[in-house]
């Protein structure tokens, strides 16, 4: 389940662009296919539950004390019919975990389905009264330097698989769960990933989890301090460089991976535009390639380029990466001593990188300026001012 964390946040697999297909086309495909799983939802009396919702990705994406949670069910949202039946047609979209909720009745069901006997059809699941779980995240490290935690995102895992996501709810995460054991994971723009195991007893309707004190990510603590050198690299694309050689220039460190949709669709093309806009005498760009675990690991620049062949043709319109790219060694490491192994490279630990893409900016003196998102107008203006102020 910890392997799911980097996907958090966000969900940036390379095939993310495929989800942009027209809904009407998808509906036609679904209509012609046979369901791979049929579920019947019933309440505790055994009566069918009509109108319960499920989807590819179930997320609480907002919370108001008076109005409650806002929900997103992703692509392929389904509702149970009058008999409580939900038929799932897109096997590769549901990831093996079934979560359903009936908002008005406050009923939920959670079940991992990929390990079940496929002969069970329909699979009958009893929906139980939900427990509202809230978990507040703070960071004393950030408070000491006058900074906040920023946006917190998280997920809840059951049976070693993610069942419910949470985002856009401030510093407190919200989950709606039936009785059982769960693992909560939280991460954010400025904090290290943390986790908490909880158990919800039968009959409990709310559970305020003890607040967690999350360590700050290194890039925040490094602001205004010398940037750590690039280390533990398997191979370089184009000429290798050292940060110590680049003093006098503004340096961009782009942490990315071939497997990350937002990286290859938005991040790298943005670097292409910056390369055209600013002189190499003023701006140096370095890509830091990080694998997302063993399944996404590449052992050479050649293999990385092969993985990117379709992207280079269809998204980059044939443009090649002409700036240095450091291919990091794949490792499972902790962001902090004694912590859980959420990081996948030494460079990720050195700079505190837990989401992709992440752009770290280094000033002309070799100190960390901060983390900028160039899709934001204000961040792009900050970079421009930094480059132009010699």
Range with lowest mean pLDDT among 21-25, 90-94, 355-359: 21-25
Instruction: Provide mean pLDDT across the span 306-320.
Output: 96
pLDDT at 74: 82
* Neighbour tally for 360: CB within 10 Å: 24
pLDDT at 118: 64
Instruction: Provide mean pLDDT across the span 277-290.
Output: 97
Report pLDDT digits (tens) over 103-158.
999 999 999 988 876 667 899 999 999 999 999 999 999 999 999 898 899 999 99
Domain ranges of the chain: 33-216, 218-388
Instruction: Provide mean pLDDT across the span 3-25.
Output: 35
pLDDT at 119: 67
Domain 218-388: give its CATH superfamily: Glutaredoxin (3.40.30.10)
Report pLDDT digits (tens) over 336-349.
888 878 889 999 99
pLDDT at 35: 87
pLDDT at 83: 98
Q: Quick check: 371 pLDDT over 70?
A: yes
Categorize the per-residue pLDDT at 3 as very low, low, confident or very high, splitting at 50, 70 and 90.
very low
The three-state (H, E, C) secondary structure of the chain, written as one string: CCCHHHHHCCCCEHHHHHHHCCHHHHHHHHHHCCCCEEEEEECCCCCECCCCEECCCCEEEEEECCCEEEEECCCCCEECCCCCEEEECCHHHCCCEEEEEECCCCEEEEEECCCCCCCCCCEEEECEECEEEEEEEECHHHHHCCCCCCCEEEEEEECCEEEEEECCCCCEEEEEECCEEEEEEEEECCECCEEEEEEECCCCCEEEEEEEECCECHHHHCECCECCCCCCEEEEECCCCCHHHHCCCEEEEEEECCCEHHHHHHHHHHHHHHHHHCCCCCEEEEEEECCCCHHHCCCCHHHHHHHCHHHHHHCCCCCCCCCCEEEECCCCECCCCCCCCCECCHHHHHHCCCCCCEEEEECCCCEEEEEECCCCHHHHHHHHHHHHCC
Written as six digits, the tokens of 10 are: 């966000």
Q: Does domain 33-216 have CATH number 2.60.40.10?
A: yes
Q: Quick check: 221 pLDDT over 60?
A: yes
Q: Quick check: 10 pLDDT over 50?
A: no
β-strands 283-289, 325-328 pairing: parallel
Report pLDDT digits (tens) over 188-214.
989 999 999 999 999 999 999 999 999
Instruction: Provide mean pLDDT across the span 66-88.
Output: 92
Instruction: Provide mean pLDDT across the span 18-36.
Output: 48
Instruction: Provide mean pLDDT across the span 146-173.
Output: 94
pLDDT at 292: 81
pTM here?
A: 0.82
Q: Quick check: 222 pLDDT over 90?
A: yes
**What residues contact residue 310 under an 8 Å CB cut-off, 6+ apart?**
none
């Amino acid at each position: 389940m910890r392997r799911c964390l980097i996907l958090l946040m966000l969900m940036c697999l390379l095939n993310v662009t495929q989800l942009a297909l027209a809904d009407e086309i998808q509906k036609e495909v679904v209509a012609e296919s046979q369901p791979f799983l049929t579920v019947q939802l019933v309440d505790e009396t055994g009566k069918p539950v009509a109108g319960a919702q499920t989807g590819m990705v179930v997320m609480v994406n907002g919370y108001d004390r008076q109005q409650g949670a806002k929900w997103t069910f992703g692509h392929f949202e389904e509702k149970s019919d009058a008999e409580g039946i939900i038929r799932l047609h897109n096997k590769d979209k549901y990831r093996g975990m079934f979560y359903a909720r009936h908002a008005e009745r406050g009923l939920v069901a959670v079940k991992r389905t990929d390990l079940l006997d496929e002969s069970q059809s329909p699979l009958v699941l009893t929906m139980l009264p939900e427990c509202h779980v809230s978990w507040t995240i703070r960071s004393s490290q950030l408070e000491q330097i006058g900074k906040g935690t920023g946006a917190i995102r998280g997920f809840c895992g059951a049976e070693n698989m993610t069942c419910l996501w949470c985002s856009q709810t401030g510093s407190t995460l919200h989950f709606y769960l039936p009785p059982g054991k769960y693992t909560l994971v939280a991460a954010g723009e400025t904090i290290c990933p943390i986790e908490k195991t909880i158990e919800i007893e039968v009959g409990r309707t709310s559970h305020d989890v003890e607040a967690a004190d999350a360590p700050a990510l290194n890039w925040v603590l490094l602001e205004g301090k010398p940037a750590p050198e690039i280390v533990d690299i398997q191979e370089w694309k184009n000429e290798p460089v050292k940060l110590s050689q680049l003093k006098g220039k503004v340096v961009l460190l782009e942490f990315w991976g071939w497997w990350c949709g937002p990286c290859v669709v938005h991040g790298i093309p943005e670097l292409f535009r910056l390369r055209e806009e600013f002189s190499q005498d003023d701006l140096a760009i370095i890509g830091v390639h990080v694998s997302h675990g063993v399944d996404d690991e590449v052992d050479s620049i050649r293999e990385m380029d092969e993985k990117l062949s379709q992207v280079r043709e269809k998204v980059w319109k044939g443009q090649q990466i002409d700036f240095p790219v450091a291919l990091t060694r794949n490792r499972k490491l902790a962001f902090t001593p004694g912590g859980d192994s959420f990081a996948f490279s030494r460079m990720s630990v050195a700079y505190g990188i837990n989401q992709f893409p992440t752009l770290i900016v280094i000033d002309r003196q070799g100190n960390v300026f901060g983390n900028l998102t160039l899709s934001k107008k204000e961040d792009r203006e900050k970079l421009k001012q930094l480059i132009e102020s010699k």
